[in-house]
Structure 1
Amino acid sequence: SKSEENENDIFIIQFESPEDLIKEFIELKNVMEAYKHIAGSYCLPVTIHSVFTFIRTLSHFLAPNYTQEISYDVKLTTTCCFFYIVLIASLGNYIQATVYQNRLQLGNTMAIGPSPHLENPKVLELKQWLLSYDFKLSACDFFEINHRLILEVAALVLTYFVFLFQLQISEKADSQP
């Protein structure tokens, strides 16, 4: 539409030259990569701690002297770890969805037609690169941070739970004459 074209033109006009736009973009990209590194460095230990907390909590149910009562501290820590995982996964998913929406909007703008301000080959090259750029938050490049993280953590904890359960069953079978 005409209003979208005007908004995009105003955005481009804010810069004195296409080189200024490219410099600003490079600076923004560097900031996003730094954020990705810092946030990923934080997400990895929090995720690992949460997984160990879930496993420790589930191991209470398999203990030979299991009682229905689990300490308040264990319940609180497990609940907090669950919310850590949900918040981290939501943050990663939000970032991924925002980048995708902006790429989609840029692609739609390019499909509308050329703007007189965007005929510079460097700006067109930058736009093409932006359309192919896929920014995703990751935990130190071990795994992506998005809503799938919740299911991945649940699968990992369930695997350990099954392993501990089988280990307990085999111990009981070995101890019986």
Structure 2
Amino acid sequence: MPKEGKEALQDNLTELKHWQVRGKLSVRSPDDSVTGYLDWDQDNRDYDIYIAGPFGQGATRLSGDPYSASLTLPGWDSPQFADSPEELMETYMGWNFPVSDIRYWVKGQPSPNAKSTAEFDEYGLLSVLRQHGWEVRYSRYQQQNGYWLPGLVKVTGYDFRFTFAIREWTLHD
């Protein structure tokens, strides 16, 4: 596909600001492996990410906006707050994960916050993205309301692997 086509697809994704995904999230680290059901609502820069184990057990919620973030883990009576989701993840989970960039990555788009390298498939869709020392692989694209969105996103780096198996995309105006 000509470069103009690839750029057009990326520009198209920039317009997508309010969306919701449902599916599964699995996380592997050198010490642990966990899987949960994912329900993520992104409204421009505001987000609410809810992850629950089987039968709703072990629910985790990460939510916030550009100015603050909150994290609630299983067994907590109240959420913990910080200036950024990255700070919460590092402090309470020991994960160095660029949460602020994942809202771009999950759509099949590089974050505008840092330089990246990208590989595209024969249809002009992003297949591999490298950014911030992370490698993001995309597959199972599906078309929804004029957008091509990935159904499987694998994020690998720093001894971690996050796999987003997206069952459903809901797009809002």
TM-score normalized with structure 1 length: 0.21
TM-score normalized with structure 2 length: 0.22
More relative contact order, 1 or 2 (CA 8 Å, 6+ apart): 1
